[in-house]
């Protein structure tokens, strides 16, 4: 095993017992039931205490010192690395190993969306510079022709890099064009799902790793109660109105029971259902704008029209974004009408990836996967 979690005072203490010796606790006189009485306050380690501790550790990964990492790509890399360290810490945490690759793929999508927004901006600005030069000096002014030739060359290069057709609408007073806003929405929703899932699942693994299955079962129902405490706020970017924090879904019990029983592949399937059905479906896949954009992206990729606009919906079991043709890239569907937001269509894709990951861990490809996960754990990848 490798270093993964921080050490906390409560890790080795008994649940529902005092965490400080009574002799070390302060004793003071207070009025109780109408009479002055000597009272000793004894701190007790409860399920809520443990959940706050492990939730806070997950929060520190994506929000050091309580401030959410502003750059979604940098935040995604921190999440990828944390998932990878989970698997390196305990190979039974196979879902986390697969999640390192899946989250890396989200990072690839974030880069694609951000790059697309930037390239549209570059093309628009280059076009405007060309127009301004022609408007101010005309087309045939001899001493301005080299400058205009350079502006035309820059515009053509920017236009070639622009991933969308030239027909785009830029509303007055808006920083982004309509297409840029669409890319930005996909970007923001992917980042939201990525962060929310991590804050849900990472503490579950730490609780199980440190306290075991029996206490996880005993305490899981308590987890949702730590939300909304004025003294110990919980970071939950999706908002409780859209997704209630910390529910004790049956898939969680089944997943860690499977790990305990040695059925690692089964645990991945249970956690995959929890991930997709209980967290990502309500968090992002019920957003109608995202649904429409995902459908348009998939149609564009499968049909090839417009060329260069869409990104493939696929998972590559490597630390890099580029697909590979050695069996490590799992595609969603070749049907242009396939809908990623439909969980009945999405889950077969997810489970195919899980099965391929499990297969590779048990054949000669294991060392290749281990190398990729080690690279992700060190912050490499998504390039």
Phi/psi of residue 316, each to 5°? -110, 125
Tokens of residue 128, six digits:
């405007």
Distance in angstroms (rounded) separating the CA atoms of residues 289 and 373:
33
Tell me the domain boundaries of the chain.
Answer: 9-113+176-377
CB neighbour list of residue 277: distance below 8 Å, 6 or more residues apart: 251, 343
Concatenated DSSP letters for 96-136? Answer: HHHHHHHHHHHHHHHHHHHHHHHHHHHHHHHHHHHHHHHHH
How many CB atoms sit inside 10 A of residue 148's CB? Answer: 18
191, two tokens: 């980042």
Q: Which residues of 32-44 are buried (b: 16+ CB within 10 A; e: fewer)?
A: eeeeeeeeeeeee
Work out the pLDDT band at 337, boundaries 50, 70, 90. Answer: confident
Quick count: other Cβ atoms within 10 Å of Cβ 334?
9
Q: Say what the pTM is.
A: 0.84
CA dist., res. 195 & res. 237, Å (int) = 8
How much is the mean pLDDT over the chain? Answer: 85
Residue 98: is its pLDDT beyond 70? yes
Residue with tokens 């199980």, as numbered in its chain: 208
Average pLDDT on 322-335 reads 88
For residue 382, the model assigns a pLDDT of: 62
| Percentage of residues of the chain with pLDDT beyond 90 | 55
246: left (phi over 0), alpha (psi -120 to 50) or beta: left
Residue 157: CB atoms within 10 A of its CB come to: 13
- Which letter does DSSP use for residue 263 in this model? -
Banded model confidence at residue 2, pLDDT cuts 50, 70, 90: very low
- Residue 278: alpha-carbon gap to chain centroid: 15
E strand or H helix at 32: strand 27-32
pLDDT (mean) for 223-246: 94
Query: Are the CB atoms for 103 and 96 separated by under 8 Å?
Result: no
Output the pLDDT for position 381.
63
pLDDT band at 49; cut points 50, 70, 90 = very high
Higher per-residue confidence, 125 vs 369:
369
User: Mean pLDDT throughout 188-194?
Assistant: 95
220 neighbors 105 (Cβ within 8 angstroms)? no
Q: Work out the pLDDT band at 196, boundaries 50, 70, 90.
A: very high
pLDDT at 316: 94
For residue 36, the cross-strand partners are: 31
**Residue 156 to residue 159: CA distance in whole angstroms:** 5
């Amino acid at each position: 095993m490798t270093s993964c979690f921080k050490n906390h005072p409560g890790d080795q203490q008994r649940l529902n017992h005092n965490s400080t010796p009574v002799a070390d606790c302060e004793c003071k006189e207070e009025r109780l039931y109408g009479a002055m009485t000597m009272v000793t306050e004894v701190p007790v380690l409860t399920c809520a205490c443990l959940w706050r501790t492990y939730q806070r550790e997950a929060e520190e990964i994506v929000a050091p010192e309580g401030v959410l990492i502003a750059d979604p790509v940098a935040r995604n890399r921190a999440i990828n690395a944390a998932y990878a360290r989970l698997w390196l810490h305990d190979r039974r945490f196979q879902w986390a190993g697969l999640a390192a690759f899946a989250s890396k793929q989200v990072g690839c999508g974030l880069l694609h969306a951000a790059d697309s927004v930037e390239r549209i901006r570059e093309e628009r600005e280059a076009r405007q510079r060309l127009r301004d030069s022609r408007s101010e000096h005309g087309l045939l002014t001899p001493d301005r022709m080299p400058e205009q030739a350079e502006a035309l060359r820059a515009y053509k290069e920017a236009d070639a890099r622009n991933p969308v057709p030239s027909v785009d609408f830029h509303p007055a007073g808006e920083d982004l064009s309509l297409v840029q806003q669409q890319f930005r929405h996909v970007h923001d929703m992917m980042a939201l799902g990525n962060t929310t899932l991590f804050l849900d699942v990472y503490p579950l693994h730490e609780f199980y790793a440190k306290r075991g299955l029996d206490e996880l079962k005993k305490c899981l129902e308590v987890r949702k109660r730590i939300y909304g405490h004025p003294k110990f706020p919980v970071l939950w970017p999706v908002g409780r109105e859209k997704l209630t924090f910390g529910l004790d879904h049956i898939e969680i019990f089944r997943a860690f029971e499977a790990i305990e029983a040695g059925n690692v592949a089964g645990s991945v399937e249970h956690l995959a259902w929890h991930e997709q059905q209980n967290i990502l479906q309500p968090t992002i896949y019920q957003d109608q704008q995202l649904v429409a954009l995902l459908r348009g992206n998939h149609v564009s990729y499968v049909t090839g029209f417009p060329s260069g606009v869409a990104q493939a919906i696929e998972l590559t079991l490597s630390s890099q974004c580029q697909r590979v043709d050695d069996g490590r890239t799992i595609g969603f569907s070749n049907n242009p009408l396939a809908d990623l937001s439909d969980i009945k269509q999405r889950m077969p894709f997810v489970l195919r990836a899980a099965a391929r990951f499990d297969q590779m861990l048990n054949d000669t490809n294991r060392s290749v996967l281990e190398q990729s996960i080690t690279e992700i754990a060190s912050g490499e990848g998504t390039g």
